[in-house]
Every structure is written in C-alpha cells, then in structure tokens.
Amino acid sequence: MEVIELKHPLILHKLTILRDKKTGTKEFRELVSELSSFLCYEALKDAELKEVEIETPMTKMKSYKLDEDKYAFMPILRAGTGMLDGLIKIVPNAKIGHIGLYRNEETLEPVRYFYKAPSHLENRETIVLDPMLATGGSAADAITLLKQSGAKKIKFLCIIAAPEGIKRLQEVHPDVKIYCTAIDEKLNDIGYIVPGLGDAGDRIFGTK
C-alpha cells in the first residue's frame, strides 16, 4: 500500500492552526475543507482526461476535460462530511454516498448503522473520506463495504493518520492508497491520535 503524506508549506501552516485547541468551530471547519481540497488535488494527479474541442475568444483548440461522473465520494459519518465541501468544489458533479459507522468505546471496533452508495461503483473511482485514520477499524470496514458493492479503484483521504491505522489498512486492503497531511506519533490508550487534534467530529460540528 502506498501512503502519500503531503508536505507543502501552506499545508503545514494550516495544519498547525487546525491542531491548536484555541481554534474555534468556524475556522476549524473551514480549514478541514481547505486541507481536503489539497488532498483531492493530489489524489487526482492520475486522473484520466478526455480530449475535447472548444472555441476560445480567439480560436478553436483541442483541450482536456475530466469525466466527473466517474467519481464517487464516500464520507464516513459523521466527521467525513466535514471534508466533502472541499472535494465537491473541485469535482462538483461527482456522485456522493454515505457510510455510517461509530466506534464502540470498549472494543474500539466500528459498528455500522447506515450505508448508501451510488450505483455502478465498479465503473467509478471511489474516494473515502474521514479526517482521522486512528485504529483503522472504521476505514477498513467502510472499504470492505464498498468492495462488496463492486468498487474496484478506491482511495482513502484523511487529514491525520496514526501508524496503527496505516498498518491495519495495509493488512486488510493493501490495494488502497492513503493520502494524508500528517502521520502522527501514535494512538493513546483510548484510541485517540497523539498529538492529533482531538475529536474531529466534535470540533467540526461544535458538539463538545
């Protein structure tokens, strides 16, 4: 499995503000969206384009367009929806589904409660969204669901990843590329990423 960690100075700058516990809900939400856009740009570096003919104010020319219909964005509820806006600004006609999972606080394993995916996933590139790749349980379970629905080309986008989560995805889904803006030190004894940024869902939605 390939892991792509973005290291652009602007990303490091925005990530610093995102991590700061003094950063408020509005700014936190905006930063998640911005960082998600950066991740989307990187994840689509290998996008296939089709040649088209257009007419500029000066002349006709051949150029290239993305077939946006071939993409499906699948945020893991609820925090993953905070990343969605950053991606649909870039690929506004992509199909969107949702995967509802929550973590059992005792076992740290994911529990599934909702799943709705676009049709014909086998013909689309599927991009899974979750700000934090912690234990990797939710991500692995979400990707398993997508493969069962026919998805063949899958990428996983997160803001911060823990080594433990990367290792789990490598073991369960070695064909899925991971894109992140930081690989942090470790998980603590209750499954949170350290140094991390706390609970991404709570900070996106202002629920704590």
Give the residue numbers marked as catalytic: 103, 107, 199, 202
Of 203, 153, 152, nearest in space to 22 by CA:
203
Torsion, Cα of 164, 170, 176, 181 (10° steps): 30
Of 86, 39, 28, 35, nearest in space to 204 by CA:
28
- 128 near 76, Cβ under 8 Å? yes
Torsion, Cα of 151, 155, 156, 161 (10° steps): 140
